[in-house]
Each structure stands twice: as structure tokens, then as C-alpha cells.
Amino acid sequence: MKIVVYAICKNEVQFVDRWMDSMSEADQAVVLDTGSNDGTAARLRARGALVTEETVTPWRFDTARNRSLELVPPDTDICVCTDLDEVFHPGWRAALERAWTANASQASYRYTWSFNPDGTEGVVFWSEKIHTRQNWRWTHPVHEVLQWTGKQPPGPKISVPDIQLDHHPDHTKSRGQYLPLLEQSVKEDPADDRNVHYLGREYLYKGRWDDCIRTLRQHLVMPTALWRDERAASMRFIAKAYAQKGDIPSAKVWYHRAIAEAPYLREPYMDFAMLLYGQTGRDPSAWEGVLYLTSCALAIADRPRTYICEANSWGSLPYDLRSLALYHTGRPDEALRMARLALEAAPSDPRLRRNVEFLEKKQENQD
């Protein structure tokens, strides 16, 4: 099979060699450079990439992605869309060829979107940017997705668990363009529930609490907004906005709703636990709520494959909060066990280490 990687870029020369090394298992790398002035295009060409330089005006991610896809040779069997700040683990091509079937149209694979400061994985989900050459187009100005355009339904989507793609971004780059692009996306297609959700989330990031609440409440009443994971996320974000406004009772109501919507996800329990943790200084009885919610979260053992999977909920936080709650409710031995599990999940965290040492000393004194 002919496998071609395609990408868009702008001023990412620091990633070129690492990216080209990672993508070298493909037959060809095709890149649309949208206006670099740092030597990115020249370095890519020196490493063997086929580079086209064009400016996309007005800027839209879907327009750029579609143009880069047009540059992929028509006889390509499998297209692999990545960004220059992403890296495949070695052997990805062989894994893809083993899993691919004659009538497959798309592949999903494991994607680590972020890493914690200690190098452990943060947000992990399954991406779907590997696909056949014909009858696909990217849509939406930002948070763009692949859309099938063929007259007949696409072939099956295969899962390739042996492919791992890591994201190592330049954190100095601004994402200020996201909000206007999301507003444009919702204006263009107000019936698209996914982008309404993303817009509400972006308002939360920007501290626009009332806009966040209004937009996400709109998302929840849309007839197509049926995915419970995303609905629960909207409810959590509404709760966070109310908490930022100082309306704790409303925040609690929305966290209860989020748990009821998706009781199989850790995130609603952990967000609610953090809210109660913030109340313990004024209301010590809130520790019991933290205990209950962390117990519910830790009872969920299977990490979901969707992007709605936050690093804190699957790291040291559930054990850490539970340890604190156990200690403050008079159960130091159980608190020590949880503190050790928290430290095991984040061994470089000095505060967690001090907690373990404190509880171990307390246990020794009791003995």
C-alpha cells in the first residue's frame, strides 16, 4: 500500500527533524506551509518533504486541511494527517498495514494529547485522522473534523491499538484565534451541537461565565445533543462557571446533573469533590462528601477512549483528595494507604511525598 502523511504548518522549524524522523515510515510526507518566516519550509524540503507554500485568507483550519489533502497524490491508499508537533512511536506503519482491511475507510489509534510535568501521560483519547484518499473533506473553521462525502456509506472504521501518537506542542503559541473561529463556526452551522459545546467551553476558558452558561444551556436543549459524555461535560462547565460567580448552590445542582447524566465517568465526581474540598474550611462536614465522591470516582476502573477524559481524574488527584478526607475524618491508617497510592501515581510531587512521611511518622508515634 502507498501511505502518505500530510500536514499543515507555520513557523515550526524546531519540530521539523523530529517530525520527519517519525514520519519516515510513510512513502511520502506532503506539507502545506501557510506562511512560515523561520525557515520551516526550507528545512522540510531538505529533509525530503514535498512542500507547497500558500497563504490561507481568511484563516480557517478546515480550508488549510483540505488544501493539504488536495496535495496528496490521487493514487495514495492511506492518508495520515498529523501536525508537526506530533510524533508516532516507531512501528506505526507495520501496525497499520497489519490491521487494515480491503474495505476499511478510516482508522482510530491511541493519542496522548498532553503530558504532566513529570512526564506521565495527561489527556489520552483515540484519534481518527487516518483515512482513505477519496471522498473525505475537513469541515469547521476550528476543531475541524473529517466528513465523508461519498454517495455510498464509507467502509468500516478499524481500531489499531498498536499505533501511538504523542503531542508535544509549543506552549508559547497563542490560541487566541480559537474563540472567533468557534463563533464563526456556530454562526455558519447553528445546528451543530458539537461546536456549540466547544464554544461554551471556550467561553469558560476566557472567564466569560455568563456566556458560558448561556451557550452550554443552549447545547443541552439541542435535539442532536445526545452524547451523554459531552452533555455531562457541558453540565460540569456550567457548574464551574456558577462556582466562579460565587453561586455555589447552583454549581452543586449542575454537578448532580452531570453525575446523573454520565455516572460512568470519573470527571463529574472529581469536579464535585474539588468544589466540596474548597468548602471544607467553612464546613468540615464537606469532607464526608469528598469521601463519597472520590469513592465513586475510583470505582470506575476503565479509562474511556474519548477526548472527554481529563488528566487529573486519572492521576494522583482521586487518591490525594481521598487521603485528605480520610485524615480529616479520623482515619489516618486508611489515609496513609491512599497517600501512598497518590505518590505512586505522581512520584516526583514533593507535597505528596511529605504527606506520606507525615502520616508514616504519625503511625509510628501511635504504635
Give the span between the Cα atoms of 206 and 212, in whole angstroms.
9
CA–CA separation, 314 and 141 (whole Å): 31
Residues 343 and 250 in one domain: no
Whichever domain contains 199, its CATH number is 1.25.40.10
Q: Is residue 120 located within the same domain as residue 200?
A: no
pLDDT in the model for residue 366: 80
Q: What's the pLDDT at 189?
A: 94
| Interval 29-70: pLDDT, tens | 999 999 999 999 999 999 999 999 999 999 999 999 999 999
Residue 287 CA to residue 327 CA, distance in Å, equals: 10
- pLDDT at site 83: 98
Q: Grid coordinates representing 66?
A: 483540505
Single out the residue of 147, 129, 151 nearest to residue 137, CA to CA.
147
Same domain, 10 and 99: yes
For residue 358, which phi and psi values (nearest 5 degrees)?
-60, -45
Residues 229 and 325 in one domain: no
For the chain, how many structural domains are there in total?
A: 3
Based on the domain organization, do 231 and 283 belong to the same domain? Answer: no
Q: Which amino acid type is present at position 318?
A: P
Picking from 10, 55, 49, the residue whose alpha carbon sits closest to that of residue 31 is 49
This model's pTM is above 0.95: no
Position 82 scores a pLDDT of 98
For every residue of 320-358, DSSP letters joined together read HHHHHHHHHTT-HHHHHHHHHHHHHHSTT-HHHHHHHHH
Give the span between the Cα atoms of 221 and 238, in whole angstroms. 14
Same domain, yes or no, for 27 and 161? Answer: yes
Spans of the chain below 70 pLDDT: none
Same domain, 140 and 234: no
Over the chain, what is the mean pLDDT?
Answer: 96
- What was the pLDDT predicted at 261? 98
Residues 213 and 226 in one domain: yes
- Identify whether residues 187 and 102 lie together within a single domain: no
Q: Which of 145, 167, 189 is the last residue of a domain?
A: 167
Q: Does residue 229 contact residue 313 with C-beta atoms inside 8 Å?
A: no
The pLDDT of residue 45 is 98
State residue 31's pLDDT score: 98
Range of the domain at 200: 176-261
**Quick one: how far is CA 107 from the chain centroid?**
18
Give the residue from 167, 192, 226 where a domain finishes: 167
**What pLDDT sits at residue 171?**
82
Burial readout 1-36 (b: 16 or more C-beta within 10 A, e: otherwise): eebbbbbbbbbbbebbeebbebbebbebbbbbbbeb
Q: Which residues of 50-86 are buried (b: 16+ CB within 10 A; e: fewer)?
A: bbeeeebeebbbbbbbbbbbeebeeebebbbbbebbb
Q: Are residues 222 and 335 in the same domain?
A: no
pLDDT for the residue numbered 267: 98
Question: Looking at residue 40, which CATH number applies to its domain?
Answer: 3.90.550.10
One domain, residues 248 and 280: no
Q: Are residues 280 and 311 part of one domain?
A: yes
Per DSSP bridges, beta strands 136-139 and 145-148 are antiparallel
Question: End of a domain among 228, 261, 294?
Answer: 261
Distance from C-alpha of 52 to C-alpha of 72, rounded to nearest angstrom: 11
